[in-house]
Chain A
């Protein structure tokens, strides 16, 4: 085992979230394709997404992955193209994490709230 620091964790999270999002993209294409079978089929499937708590958690995780991957992606691009970017890589990692968590708060309330009986709408 190697005890890497922020840079290594940012990279691990980036990879894992990237792979996760790609896999979801495949699934998402399939479920969207179901739309061709008409409203009954499609609505039946989307209901599963909405009603099953586990799918709400998965969606929450997906959004977390998309958010982290996006913010850390910005961090990487800044490092790549701004000559001084590397000096702030640790700070930007915490920034990406912070923004992700921040954006996840309302998302969590909206997505997971109903499961716990809050923010019903």
Chain B
């Protein structure tokens, strides 16, 4: 089936919906949002903490301070022009969200309430500042709901439960997508002048992750298949406090309230690693401390986890300030956090890297920033790059809102300037062949076993602590798994709501993403932010103050580099 729209947005999380809303405000522009889930199921809804913006509702604050914190938090791998834009526009974007109806928590005067969050400081690192605008402990949920509501108001066309299959590029110009209607298995072609990928992250490459089962990097890999390089893929954030074995996130606020991390002997081991900041050191660092403890046999009962201790805080603090955490712990662990220790381990959380874009969301193809006309990306699947080597808490929501908005605005201008590019012949041929192969193979490898093996290998060798040997071993395993994947067979032969088919395709993307992540990690022979190399334990600005760009070519992966844009803040040692 053929559809024609002016703009196509793939992905209905915060970035996609924000862009769709900007487009919807132009009456002449027809927009469709394609999503493999219903929009309200997107993983933006899982974000808890808040959205950082220098509103200054409680105390003096400035976007410049926010920019500094972002740059420093990202270990100076941040493109500072983009960070400046983000922190400046965060303010008006938050007000816009409020005007859309977002139910922010309020100050006694009725203004948007703000609270402290890790790494956010006043006057370039002097003291913590109240910058995180929040709606109880479900800020992401509120952003997602509010944007979806506004899209309904503006009558945006939704194609829910449509799986993205391919991007259509004709002579270097992006002109559409191919998607599968999950319900009946029909292949649809969407022809458009501008296409935005807001397809989210890919945490499911790791065994323990806070990500949804749907976060499999489909858009990222489909872009890469069309010659787009992937930027800084080795920069993947592990959040230190995920529920043991489940990976469900327990907010940083728990340690903000005074929670303590303990090893098997009950020792507060952060004292040995970060004597001043202790448990509230940045995410990448605390994750590393835990990994070190486990590696040296001081995990609980010798296993791969440690304890988060809230027992000294008292029932009052736990129930009133950390109600969601208490709920998660009670439901999933059957533990009372007021009296018992919570087993936690680092959990794969957020991709700083992804599809490279400029500050208007246009996808760029190289270090010279040549764009692919008509192709945009925003949100976690994109890399602007505002997070550099480590993302600051609350900045993920800022990113999706600001750059989803900017991309939408730029798309609207672009659409008014250009004509439709003709589709190439048989734009869906590749997708149909791919589906046909998967649906017809009689017997072969099990996707579930390949997935399990991949996730364990990535968790073991490509997570918090990396070395040349581990990365090379993982590279070999992934290559073998990719081989096995070419023989993968599924049981379900139905076209009607075939979720096994989708899961198997998603596994293919995860395998490719893992391969690229490992390639990036291998060439970056330094330690910076989330990327920690045991064999190169310090930051090396002389050689590696640059972004990696990994291209997929017929001869294998090719790594190139792109300079980091530095405007105001010269790289300094990262101390807190």
Query: Do any CB atoms of chain A lie under 8 A from CB atoms of chain B in the complex?
Result: no
| Interface positions of B (Cβ within 8 A of A) | none
